[in-house]
Structure 1
Amino acid sequence: MGWISHLCLMNMKRRKTRTFLTILGVVIGVISVVTLLAVGIGVRQEMINTMVDSESICQIRVTGATGGKHKDRMIMDQTVKTFQELEYVSSVYPTYEMYVTITNGKYSYDGAITGIPQSELAKLKYTKTSKQTTSSVKPVLIMGNKVTSLFYNPETEQTYDVTEKKKAETWIGKKVDLSFWDSQEMTPVKIEVGAVIDSGEDTYNRDSQSIYCDLDVLKSFLGRVSSGGTLPGQPLDANGNPYKDFVYSGAVVTVDNIDHVDSIVKKLQDMGYTTENEKEYLDTIQKYLKMVQLLLGGIGAIALIVAVIGISNTMTTSVFDRINEIGVLKVLGCDPDELQLLFLTEAGIIGAAGGIIGVLLSYGFKGIVDKIAIKMFDLAKGTQIAMIPWELAAGAVVGAILLAICAGYFPARFASKLQPLDAVRNR
């Protein structure tokens, strides 16, 4: 084996330019594949981390029946206790959604307000100018910082934020007119805006475009203003009477670990409830990102295939240039398998050199890609848009070696089958 390595290195030194260009082709191919796959991996991981770091990824929003004869599918206090007893469930809280019209001057909002427990309101992050989140008399509205984009002027059809160019914080402490869609008899009531959720200037999520209030205060308020003992939004039984227990529109179930979300979703669906969970979106995003990653890898693979063709061309040329040397080696008793191994080893060395150098340079390109992405997309410092796991680096080197050996197989086989007299005759 020693003489084989020695002959390989001697031949590569004699043909420095050809060897250098062949290795350069492998280097470019490896850089293309590794860098493009690294971008795909990095973007995918960054999106996953962003969602997994959020508590909402482990939250399942459950919707129950709000009418008809399906009392077993309605969400009541006992239902919440049943959800809480499920394995892997860490917490549950009910929600009550009511459709309303809110008017502030010439701007109106037609949508929902959601009552959630005060304990959940306390977990939200508010702007510094926020005052209060609850009251013992009337519900206090907690608005998302992007809700003003949902208020529009019916005459101009322009939204509040576009026309007035003011933030939601300017509404804190003001009173707005609120009327319930399910109660035509109720006159609009004055409700105060007590707080605004701080979701970030450029962030759009569920909280940033929602309006919340204290659930207990909302229930108490509806009980006082309702007529005939029927609360607005509450379903009626087959006899037209309200149910004894308060019926919530939904519940939020928090699972202890993301790995258990799918199993809890299945249990809830088997119980007849409708579920919504961000993990479903995460799974969909991952599927499409894998497709993008595959596409990027395919683009990079084109450069690597060109490099493999270059190796095959180099090895073929090397065989024809060294026919006399091959003849001499055969006359001296060199075995055909050893002769084939000689050329395969040379191809493997070219692949290994190109693979190692390509991977090392890929780390440099990774740093450049990260810096450009952070600057272009105004990302936080330290964000890794490109990631090169050790498996990718090792796979790139091994892949380059194997492809190089495959490219050198047919030239090596041709050399091993040359007859000694035919080879020497070409001298």
Structure 2
Amino acid sequence: MGWISHLCLMNMKRRKTRTFLTILGVVIGVISVVTLLAVGIGVRQEMINTMIDSESICQIRVTGATGGKHKDRMILDQTVKAFQELDDVDSVYPFYELYVTLTNGKYSYDGVITGIPQSELTKKNYTKTSRRTTSNVKPVLVMGDKTASLFYNPDTDQTYDTAEKKKAESWIGKKMDLSFWDSQDSTSVRLEVGAVIDSGEDTYNRDSQSVYCDLDVLKSFLGRLPGGGTVYGQPLDANGNPYKDFVYSGAVVTVDDIDHVDAAVKKLQDMGYTTENEKEYLDTIQKYLKMIQLLLGGIGAIALVVAVIGISNTMTTSVFDRINEIGVLKVLGCDPDELQILFLTEAGIIGAAGGVAGVLLSYGFKGIVDKIAVKMFDLAKGTQIAMIPWELAAGAVVGAILLAICAGYFPARFASKLQPLDAVRNR
């Protein structure tokens, strides 16, 4: 079969320009497909890695009933213990949310203050703290570093960070007035800001825009407020009496592995609780990113289809140009199958050359895309917005070869069926 390869190479050398242009078409097609798919894969992987690197991807936020007769669906201390005993659960802690207004001079924040255990507060990454971050008398506020954009001045329609050109760090050690939304007592309480959470320069998450405090201190503080024998914010039973147990707003369940999140969510929902977790958003993001990948791949495939048409045209032209040669080969006893293999091999060589060259050049384009993306979107240096896994590179080469062979099939079949006398008669 060595003579087949020899004839293929000789024919390609005789028609250098045509061969080069055909291979160039394959190269462009392969670059289009590989580069566009690489961008889709890179963006998807970067987003997944960002979420998976965060501990919150394995956390499930659980909420239940907060009043009425559904005590079995409330989040109590015994409920937290029951959650802890579930399979694959690593840790559980309760939280308590209060709707309040925080006033800082001309600026006010209408939102939620969340009490969480002190052990969870110490895990936060603080930019800076005051001398006193805890207290046994009044809650000490721990602010997210983006909360400055949530304090609003109704007179100027501007937020604190925009008008004052300051960040939340400027509040550390200072006091703010706190009042409850539905409290009959209009007296406000002054609470100190003890720390600010550092969530990153351009990162927005739950911590960055939340206000926290120590849960035990908050419970004790609420119990001392005048409330007619009830703790402020606590629900009442059907008879209007307070519950004996403290009712939390919810609990955060941390699962030991991301692969166990879905199973844990189902168990909690079967128990009658409402759940929320970031893996749901991750799954949704992955679904839409796959659709984008298919779209990008389809756009790139158009260029590859054009290249395949070019190969088919080249092989058809080659057959007609070499009819005399085909006739001579048949007269000398060349088998029709061998003749078909000759032209299919030539098409395969073109596909292989274009595929390999296209993949190699795609790595160069990948580097260019990464640099442009980092500069345009102000990403961290070294961020790979385009990724070419070896499966994609190998698949591109193999796909180019197979498509080239398919493109050369009909011209090769035509050549193999030519009668020797008809071919020689065209001499």
TM-score range, shorter chain: over 0.9
Shift of 1:227: 2.3
Shift of 1:347: 0.3
Structure 2 partner of 1:91: 91
Report the 3-state secondary structure (helix = DSSP H, G, I; strand = E; otherwise coil) of the residue aligned with 1:394. helix
**Structure 2 Cα separation of the partners of residues 31 and 19 of structure 1:** 18
Structure 2 partner of 1:306: 306
RMSD of Structure 2 on Structure 1 (CA): 1.1
Structure 2 partner of 1:391: 391
Structure 1 partner of 2:323: 323
Shift of 1:13: 1.1
Report the 3-state secondary structure (helix = DSSP H, G, I; strand = E; otherwise coil) of the residue aligned with 1:86. coil
Structure 1 partner of 2:284: 284
Structure 2 partner of 1:15: 15
Q: 1:145-160 alignment to 2 at 5 Å? A: 145-160=145-160
**Structure 1 Cα separation of the partners of residues 352 and 183 of structure 2:** 77
* 1:168 maps to amino acid: A
Structure 1 partner of 2:63: 63
**Structure 2 Cα separation of the partners of residues 166 and 185 of structure 1:** 32
Structure 2 partner of 1:240: 240
Shift of 1:170: 1.2
Q: 1:292-371 alignment to 2 at 5 Å? A: 292-371=292-371
Residues 220-239 of structure 1: per-residue CA shift (max 9 Å, x gap): 00111132220111111111
TM-score (ref. length: structure 1): 0.98
**Structure 1 Cα separation of the partners of residues 340 and 194 of structure 2:** 82
Q: Is the 8 A contact 1:101 1:180 kept in 2?
A: yes
Structure 2 partner of 1:270: 270
**Structure 1 Cα separation of the partners of residues 105 and 376 of structure 2:** 40
Residues 268-324 of structure 1: per-residue CA shift (max 9 Å, x gap): 111111111001111111111111111111111111111101100000000000000
Report the 3-state secondary structure (helix = DSSP H, G, I; strand = E; otherwise coil) of the residue aligned with 1:193. strand
Structure 2 partner of 1:35: 35
Shift of 1:129: 4.7
Structure 1 partner of 2:375: 375
Q: 1:146-225 alignment to 2 at 5 Å? A: 146-185=146-185, 187-225=187-225
Report the 3-state secondary structure (helix = DSSP H, G, I; strand = E; otherwise coil) of the residue aligned with 1:31. helix
Shift of 1:183: 2.3
**Structure 1 Cα separation of the partners of residues 223 and 89 of structure 2:** 32
Structure 2 partner of 1:6: 6
Aligned residues: 427
Between stretches 264-273 and 175-184, larger displacement belongs to 175-184
Q: Is the 8 A contact 1:133 1:213 kept in 2?
A: no
Report the 3-state secondary structure (helix = DSSP H, G, I; strand = E; otherwise coil) of the residue aligned with 2:408. helix
Residues 391-411 of structure 1: per-residue CA shift (max 9 Å, x gap): 000100000000000100110
Residues 336-366 of structure 1: per-residue CA shift (max 9 Å, x gap): 1111111011000100111011111111111
Q: Is the 8 A contact 1:93 1:116 kept in 2?
A: yes
TM-score (ref. length: structure 2): 0.98
Q: Is the 8 A contact 1:118 1:214 kept in 2?
A: yes
Report the 3-state secondary structure (helix = DSSP H, G, I; strand = E; otherwise coil) of the residue aligned with 1:240. coil
Q: Is the 8 A contact 2:48 2:282 kept in 1?
A: yes
**Structure 2 Cα separation of the partners of residues 155 and 345 of structure 1:** 79
**Structure 2 Cα separation of the partners of residues 350 and 235 of structure 1:** 76
Residues 208-252 of structure 1: per-residue CA shift (max 9 Å, x gap): 110000000000001111322201111111111111110000100
Q: Is the 8 A contact 1:347 1:404 kept in 2?
A: yes
1:250 aligns with 2:275: no
* 1:235 maps to amino acid: P
**Structure 1 Cα separation of the partners of residues 171 and 382 of structure 2:** 37
**Structure 2 Cα separation of the partners of residues 383 and 202 of structure 1:** 15
Shift of 1:154: 2.1
**Structure 1 Cα separation of the partners of residues 227 and 344 of structure 2:** 91
**Structure 1 Cα separation of the partners of residues 76 and 229 of structure 2:** 18
Shift of 1:65: 0.8
**Structure 1 Cα separation of the partners of residues 359 and 147 of structure 2:** 49
Structure 2 partner of 1:123: 123
Residues 107-128 of structure 1: per-residue CA shift (max 9 Å, x gap): 1111110000000000001113
Shift of 1:130: 4.0
Q: Is the 8 A contact 2:222 2:232 kept in 1?
A: yes
**Structure 2 Cα separation of the partners of residues 154 and 392 of structure 1:** 55
Shift of 1:201: 2.4
Q: Is the 8 A contact 1:180 1:232 kept in 2?
A: no
Superposition misfits of 4+ residues, deviation over 4 angstroms: none
Shift of 1:157: 2.5
Q: Is the 8 A contact 1:339 1:416 kept in 2?
A: yes
Report the 3-state secondary structure (helix = DSSP H, G, I; strand = E; otherwise coil) of the residue aligned with 2:291. helix
* 2:289 maps to amino acid: L
* 2:202 maps to amino acid: D
* 1:12 maps to amino acid: M
Q: Is the 8 A contact 2:128 2:169 kept in 1?
A: no
Shift of 1:186: 5.5
- Unmatched segments (≥5 aa) in structure 2: none
**Structure 1 Cα separation of the partners of residues 381 and 144 of structure 2:** 27
- Unmatched segments (≥5 aa) in structure 1: none
Structure 1 partner of 2:420: 420
Aligned-residue sequence identity (percent) comes to 89
Rate the CA distance shift 1:186–1:227 in 2: closer, same or farther, 3 A.
Answer: farther
Residues 23-65 of structure 1: per-residue CA shift (max 9 Å, x gap): 1111111111111111110111011001000000000001111
Report the 3-state secondary structure (helix = DSSP H, G, I; strand = E; otherwise coil) of the residue aligned with 1:403. helix
